[in-house]
Structure 1
Amino acid sequence: MAKQFALTDWLPTSKKEMEARGWEEADVILFSGDAYVDHPSFGAAVVGRILEAEGLRVAIVAQPNWRDDLRDFRKLGRPRLFFGVSAGAMDSMVNKYTANRRLRSEDAYTPDRRSDMRPDYPTIVYTRILKELFPDVPVVVGGIEASLRRLTHYDYWQDKLLPSILCQSQADLLIYGMGELPLHEIAQRLLNGEPFDRLKDVRQTSYLVPKGEEISSHERDIRLFSHEECLMDKRKQAQNFCQIEVQSNCYEADRILQTVGDVTVVVNPPFPPMNTEQVDCSFDLPYTRLPHPRYRGKVISAYEMIKHSVNVHRGCFGGCAFCTISAHQGKFIASRSESSVLHEVEQITQMEDFKGYLSDVGGPSANMYRMQGYDLAICKRCQRPSCIHPNVCPNLNADHRPLLELLRRIDKHPKIKKSFIGSGVRMDLLLHVYKDKALREAADQYTEDLIVRHVSGRLKVAPEHTSESVLNLMRKPPFRQFAEFTKRFHQINQAHGLRQQLIPYFISSHPGCTEEDMAELAVLTKKLDFKLEQIQDFTPTPMTLATEMYYTGYHPYTLQPVYTAIKKEDKQKQHMFFFWYKREEADRIRRELQRIGRPDLIAKLFDRPTPSHHQSDTRPSRPSSRPVRKGKNHRSRN
């Protein structure tokens, strides 16, 4: 039977709801760019429940009107301690604009998908308004938009290098990464009477120090090139990125300092990765798992997608060049206990609209649950951004048995008809040549269980490209692994009498990718009998390796030039090769293959020879960067 909730089971969103709890004021008021959904997949709800668990009175203002009289910013009054601001579960610019910088017509995190309910850069807009209305109240910013913009970063939508979002918003404190641990310390210290301006030593936070104000000296401080130096020399921005990436994924990181004009941005080192007990505490808070009643009768698409799903871990050690997951969640896996996961499954089965199907049992990468280093001391010294590229680290215990056991326990629940895995799966972990027989057998068994028991007819995987040089830049495994996985997929389907589809994801215009690479991608995927559907043009997002290559034109770790298609027409030429099978693209593709000197690929794509008078006598020179490619783009997929 579905549990019945009272209005007071949600965090209050109005003065009336605060009064119903007997509050005259809130301790903390949160402002969010997303609708308020009280679910552990929505950041504002997690922050609110964490602070509530610390004993604070927390209220939330979701998607405030920033255009008119600003009454939404005044309606709950002044908080006793601080305001909290987040743009939402996604970077607002990724959420609002396409890779071609076109305004999207729908917003999945807004009731009925309205696209006009949040400004560009809500972190900046909301914070500036709050500082204007309540100049003496501290503002703490967080979430992925603030987290990935904590230092000098390239902004694709403005096409310029921007300083820390702290400089743009004038927030008092920034929490980066997953916020539970810094929030716990901040709450405890404030409750103990410590003034807000004494919190600048909290780990995993960032703040500004004005010129002339003394900064405590740390022996191991890392001083980046200043924002102004990066504006003058793109190679310095590339060099900065290497330091930032290493410290973001380092078990025992150092403090980072960067000068911007008359201020210094200070980024304190992160907390160590959360342990199982800490992760459980976050997921086991008293969420209603439902949108706030104010949205009754309206649809919030992002919620509909995840309401019957379970997230079993955080973090990703894949280190993909275009992905922000490791930059925000870190590369160390923080897994939930079986009991916590099973408790959430039980909650889902009690939902009124649950029909017996879990839409996803996964995480940033579905098959990294409970995986970590055999020897933690080695991990603490490691500075590799990826544990599996260019090869699987010998210290990585990539054991699929805990995940297999968890999935089987979930499937034994009497109300579960089927549990699907919709998150991305790392093929390289499934195909790795394990020396340990038990690990090999577990990976094989997971592969079979995945295909037979946990696919809803279509399994999504992400080879991303076919070119070895581009894949190296992406930090992805060779394409031959996808071909091998495709073979195994069909073998397992045939053995079990199943007819399922494999849906591969690919990216065009990634740094290092040329038209010729895309043409060869079309030929290779055609040979495997794929007509591609899940494709995307590369979108640069802050704090990723691929974005730094896109903006600077250099590989940060080698400072060698890297070719990137930046002009709109060049990106469109790459993108069209995905659709070689569409009649309206065929002539354009033929002409382009002639132009780049690859008429041999025309017959391979279109199964007929090209007339000799279309042959090109000369072949254009390749970009000079070709020999130096070594390497939920914003997607959180692997």
Structure 2
Amino acid sequence: MKNEFLPISKEDMTKRGWDRLDFLFVSGDAYVDHPSFGPAILCRLLEKYGYRVGIISQPDWRSTLDFKKMGKPRLGVLVSAGNLDSMLNKFTAAKKFRSSDNYSPGGKAGCRPDRATIVYCNRIREVWKDIPIIIGGIEASLRRFAHYDYWSNSIRRSILIDSRADILIYGMGEKQLKEIAEQLQQGLNISDIRNVQGTCYKTDSIEHLWNFIETPGYDDVNTNKQAFSQAFKIQYQEQDAIRGKTIVQNHGEYSIVQNAPALPLTTEEMDEIYDLPYQRTYHPIYEKSGGVPAIQEVKFSLVSHRGCFGGCSFCAIVSHQGRIIQSRSHESILNEAKIIIAMPDFKGYIHDIGGPTANFRIQSCQKQSERGTCKAKQCLAPTPCKELMTNHTDYLTLLRTLRALPGVKKVFIRSGLRYDYLMADPSNEEFLRELCEHHISGQLKVAPEHISPKVTNLMGKSGKGVYLKFMHAYKRVNERIGKEQYLVPYFMSSHPGSGLKEAIELAEFIRDLNYRPEQVQDFIPTPGSLSTCIYYTGINPFTNEKVYVAKDIHEKKMQRGLMQYRDPKNYYLVYEALTKANRQDLIGYGPKCLIRPPHNTNHKQNSSTTTSKNSSSRNMHTKSTTQLKNNTKKHSRSRS
């Protein structure tokens, strides 16, 4: 049969000669048949192994009609809220509605319900009482235990309880789904499938378990922040496929059991996944709506690996993809590049080649394959581990091969680049030179996130000194190759540990860089992250130390305003923040001042010379920031 989209209707099933599906996949995203979209990967993998799979995307959850339109599947229903948690997809850090949804037709917001996984599953239960329901995706993965929900400001139960699903796949899911499908095909009841790594299930008895760790239960974590912190610590430290143990959390009538994470994919398994026959675009039914915006960023991009050992506390990657790097072969990547090059709308530019972190192509440590990741320390922060393998040779070779392909004008690197890992590589000069010469265009985006040690230590990020070292190396290399290119740093406001003092420290750093950030990322407490645990409890779970957390909306506005202190609309927020922090030394006309005094405040000028000098300095600064602004494309960034 020729390559085509997977069935989305009874008519599509009839064309294939199918009277019944084996699996139905219900997704909160529009159907995009591309390997950057989880439903496409999982459905194509099931298809390869002989299962009949259909997709219902963004069903109308207000009734059961859409859920029934393809009939009852033989083996089960798979449910995912989509590429983002449905609450993060809908609301900003300020809990305001987002105006668009890149994963919906035409970017239209409101095409999925709040807590989509729960809503979809309960609708399915209305239709088919006994059908096996398997949930997965980022929303289910990060809500598998009792968790803090920022949008309701409450502790919610495991999503397995509220969704009434039978089994939860956490992580990327290919190994788990294949194994579950095989066991269902063999006739096992879904309630008997309890041995698959990378899954969670609920049970009314734990007598069958051995060698497990029990965390504080839902009732405890709901009423005791110390218990919540303790539970999170266990869950975080056992997040390893090799050394991780089974975890149990009581939820009253049921206990949630998490098996150890799935083993990392081998290179052969990664190649198999990305070599599947994707259509590489959205389904034609969305043409009349203007397509699905999310495809634009990934259509001409290549995934080279999964996993991240960066250890950022606010990131979901550790809990979802894990810390062990899983890489594709060069051959597989080059074959996909040739498919992209042959596409009629390809203009010669590969938009990205990387993963969660672009320059992580190899495992961080030789010991990981046998022992797993370290339980009590990170690879990069606050300083690189002595066992860290820092080598860009493989990635550099891949980049050179890709840019030499006929039809390729340029290969960009747009996924996150860990400059601290690069600076730890003794041979970083060669990679940095080729990066600046061939793989960026005018600017490089990096994410120091903050510069106060108090904050960066909690974030799991390297300190200010490493960023400055990289900044000078970047400038030096560009001068050597004769290019004028800029660094565009990302910073985050109101992360746990950041009070007004730390926010002002960051504002002064931004001032000294002569940088004018156009976008500022407010910290959003998403389920399952270390930073969210600290945000809710005010406790660092690994040290048991108390941590300051900015929860007052007005203070968060002040912290954000400080990062964009040059914006006139932030003037009074900045003035209030500086006054409250007793930093009036930054209000005035000196070269180090962030803002001028209010118009109705009397002030003295020391001399006209000082005024002239400061005016000249401001003019130079304006020229510099304007030049940077003109070379900076507006874009948005989201963390899940």
Under a length normalisation based on structure 1, what TM-score does the superposition of the two structures give? 0.91
Query: Separation in 2 of the partners of 1:582 and 1:328?
Result: 38
Partner of 1:505, secondary structure, is strand
Residues 210-225 of structure 1: pairs in structure 2 closer than 5 A: 210=204, 213=205, 215-218=207-210, 220-225=211-216
One-letter amino acid of the structure 2 residue matched with residue 167 of structure 1: I
Partner of 2:444, secondary structure, is strand
Pick which of 551-560 and 97-106 moved more: 551-560
Counterpart in the other structure of 1:52: 47
Partner of 2:593, secondary structure, is helix
Q: 1:250 to 1:271 in 2, by over 3 A?
A: closer
One-letter amino acid of the structure 2 residue matched with residue 251 of structure 1: I
Counterpart in the other structure of 2:196: 202
One-letter amino acid of the structure 1 residue matched with residue 279 of structure 2: T
Counterpart in the other structure of 1:271: 262
The offset of 1:198, in angstroms, is 2.2
Counterpart in the other structure of 2:61: 66
Counterpart in the other structure of 2:479: 494
Q: How many pairs does the alignment contain?
A: 604
1:423 to 393, 415, 422: 415
The offset of 1:445, in angstroms, is 1.3
Query: Separation in 2 of the partners of 1:239 and 1:248?
Result: 15
Identity %: 41
Counterpart in the other structure of 1:380: 372
2:15 to 17, 20, 29: 20
Contact 2:213 2:246 in 1 (8 A): yes
Residues 73-88 of structure 1: pairs in structure 2 closer than 5 A: 73-88=67-82
Contact 1:154 1:551 in 2 (8 A): yes
One-letter amino acid of the structure 1 residue matched with residue 523 of structure 2: F
1:343 to 316, 335, 350: 335
Contact 1:389 1:477 in 2 (8 A): yes
One-letter amino acid of the structure 2 residue matched with residue 187 of structure 1: A
Partner of 1:487, secondary structure, is helix
Query: Separation in 2 of the partners of 1:295 and 1:475?
Result: 41
Counterpart in the other structure of 2:169: 175
The offset of 1:570, in angstroms, is 1.2
Counterpart in the other structure of 2:150: 156
1:147 to 141, 151, 164: 141
Q: 1:221 to 1:613 in 2, by over 3 A?
A: farther
Query: Separation in 2 of the partners of 1:320 and 1:381?
Result: 15
Query: Separation in 2 of the partners of 1:101 and 1:464?
Result: 22
Residues 91-106 of structure 1: pairs in structure 2 closer than 5 A: 91-106=85-100
The offset of 1:444, in angstroms, is 2.0
Residues 229-240 of structure 1: pairs in structure 2 closer than 5 A: 229-240=220-231
Query: Separation in 2 of the partners of 1:320 and 1:526?
Result: 25
Contact 2:496 2:534 in 1 (8 A): yes
Q: 1:463 to 1:176 in 2, by over 3 A?
A: same
The offset of 1:107, in angstroms, is 0.2
Query: Separation in 2 of the partners of 1:70 and 1:486?
Result: 56
Matched, 1:520 2:505: yes
Pick which of 484-493 and 114-123 moved more: 484-493
Q: Unpaired segments of 5 or more residues in structure 2? A: 605-634
Q: 1:283 to 1:109 in 2, by over 3 A?
A: same
Counterpart in the other structure of 2:608: none
Q: Unpaired segments of 5 or more residues in structure 1? A: 435-439, 616-631
Pick which of 518-527 and 341-350 moved more: 518-527
Partner of 2:334, secondary structure, is helix
Contact 1:519 1:601 in 2 (8 A): no
Query: Separation in 2 of the partners of 1:593 and 1:107?
Result: 37
The offset of 1:191, in angstroms, is 2.6
Matched, 1:605 2:583: no
One-letter amino acid of the structure 2 residue matched with residue 548 of structure 1: C
Contact 1:250 1:383 in 2 (8 A): no
Pick which of 450-459 and 86-95 moved more: 450-459
Query: Separation in 2 of the partners of 1:96 and 1:135?
Result: 30
The offset of 1:562, in angstroms, is 0.7
Query: Separation in 1 of the partners of 2:397 and 2:491?
Result: 32
Q: More relative contact order in 1 or in 2 (CA 8 Å, sep 6+)?
A: 1
Residues 113-124 of structure 1: pairs in structure 2 closer than 5 A: 113-124=107-118
Contact 2:240 2:373 in 1 (8 A): no
Partner of 2:257, secondary structure, is strand
Partner of 1:304, secondary structure, is helix
Matched, 1:576 2:574: no
Contact 2:309 2:364 in 1 (8 A): no
The offset of 1:184, in angstroms, is 1.6
Counterpart in the other structure of 1:411: 403
Counterpart in the other structure of 2:394: 402
Counterpart in the other structure of 1:310: 302
Counterpart in the other structure of 1:620: none
One-letter amino acid of the structure 1 residue matched with residue 531 of structure 2: A
Pick which of 336-345 and 373-382 moved more: 373-382
Contact 1:101 1:157 in 2 (8 A): yes
The offset of 1:385, in angstroms, is 5.7
Query: Separation in 2 of the partners of 1:581 and 1:363?
Result: 34
The offset of 1:636, in angstroms, is 4.5
Contact 2:64 2:126 in 1 (8 A): no
CA offsets 1:173-226 (integer angstroms, 9 cap, x no match):
10000101111211222233333332121111111112xx453121x2010001
Query: Separation in 2 of the partners of 1:280 and 1:308?
Result: 18
Q: 1:49 to 1:30 in 2, by over 3 A?
A: same
Task: Kindly report the root-mean-square deviation, in angstroms, between the aligned alpha carbons of the 2 structures.
Answer: 2.0
Q: 1:614 to 1:546 in 2, by over 3 A?
A: farther
Contact 1:373 1:379 in 2 (8 A): no
Query: Separation in 2 of the partners of 1:243 and 1:493?
Result: 46
